[in-house]
Amino acid sequence: MKASPRTYMTSIALVGSLLATSACSSSGGAGEEAHLTIATVNNPQMQDMEELSSHFEEDNPGITVDFVTMEEGDLRAAVTADVASGAGQYDIVTVGAYEVPQWGAQDWLLDLTEPLQEDAAYDVDDILPPLRDALSVDGKQYAVPFYGESSILMYNKEMFAEAGIEISNNPTWQEVAEYAAELDTDEHAGICLRGKPGWGDLFAPLTTVVQTFGGNWYDENWDAQVNSPEFVEGVEFYVDLLKEHGESDPVSYSFTECLNLLSSGKVAMWYDASVAASILEDPEASEVAGQMGYTHAPVNKTEESGWLWSWNLAVPKTTKNADAATTFVKWATSKEYHQLVGEELGWTRVPPGARTSTYSIPEYKEAAAAFAPITLEVMESVDPTHPGVDPQPYVGIQYVPIPEFQDVGNQVAQGVADAIAGRTTVQEALDSGQEIAQTAGDKQK
């Protein structure tokens, strides 16, 4: 998750009626003429999919694919507007775990359950169970994970060794702050953390910090907890750590910027998505390949604090090429595709965290030995039903699965970014955020 979403269609009744009246054809299957337009995010794994799509076209004569690649925020805005309004611009969309259950329930996405289960070679049961559950509504699966991730602490082993620091597999945030202080030099920052405003930017890691400090967005009665002492404590810790030992100009940093900083040896640690490890270990993309270490997400009051996320491929019900689109989705998320990536591009570039069988491929196990075990370990250890100290009225870790949350998260994140930049205090930002969050919470009661 890298850039902030712009808007979310909150007028569910209106867009639902628009979608209900839009036409949907199932033409364009394998062997038929079909041109697919795929909306996707501009990260390395999706760029690999575009590069390898010629193999799909060769195997499926008559089907051509065209990629529309955007930054995450632009992608969310464009895809949400298109799918919710029934415009039908895209045949396949890259969509997050946050949106899929909501859109599936609204009948905006094609139900993929039958075509996935009927294809024995596809082996839908091989997909990691937590992700299948996250992408299903009432037993119906509306998307397939292209890759899955949790969050981990990534650190430069050489920098730690030079400083004489040993790190455990389950560090606390207080320990991380001490490491960051010791490793912060003129040559490199102690730690990189997202500071760019947006629920999918700043609050992706920050929500997990808040939760392990005992805070939460809402209590079981949907009363907002944004300015609770625990929420404030977690945010203040994060902001202070960034100000004191983080990268310069943190409000300009999200996933890609921190990845670039760590891969060029200009920061000692980074807490973010586990998928980054495959890029850090690629000698062609990283100056620190072979120098990295990985641990579970840092904690405070909880035993675990990582998130659970996946980027998924889904087919909007408005497509006129449903069969062809489903064929492509299955190809890009298949065991064969993982084998193709490994053989053509390198085994460290195989999409992680989606299929159990990936972790049994000998070549992948060898190439990804530095990060594959920790990725699977953390993904199987997080609990979306109870990620923090107190119970919550929803399932999710770094997001609240209600339509209003994108706007709530964006606005609160902007306030926190202002606090990072010194334009306001954390308390003032969260006091304002409390009112915004409570308005959304009241709609759930």
- Domain layout of the chain by residue ranges: 12-149+308-369, 151-306+385-442
pLDDT, position 33: 85
User: CA 66 to CA 230: how far, in whole Å?
Assistant: 47
Q: Which residues, in sequence order, are bridge partners of residue 148?
A: 310
- Write out the two tokens for 57: 């076209």
What backbone phi and psi angles, to 5 degrees, belong to 386?
-155, 70
CATH class of 151-306+385-442: alpha beta
Per the DSSP assignment, residues forming a β-bridge with 56 are none
> Cβ contacts of residue 160 below 8 Å, gap of 6+?
166, 167, 179, 183, 268, 293
Structure-block tokens of residue 410:
């964006």
Q: Does residue 201 contact residue 420 with C-beta atoms inside 8 Å?
A: no
In the chain, which residues have pLDDT < 50? 1-30
In the structure encoding, which two tokens stand for residue 15, read together?
């867009």
Helix, strand or coil for residue 318?
A: coil
Q: Which two tokens stand for residue 414?
A: 């902007």
Q: How many CB atoms lie within 10 A of CB 17?
A: 12
Burial of 139 (0-12, 13-18, 19+ CB in 10 A): exposed
Topology adopted by domain 12-149+308-369: D-Maltodextrin-Binding Protein; domain 2 (3.40.190)
Q: How far is CA 371 from CA 129, 145, 175, 179, in A?
A: 20, 19, 22, 21
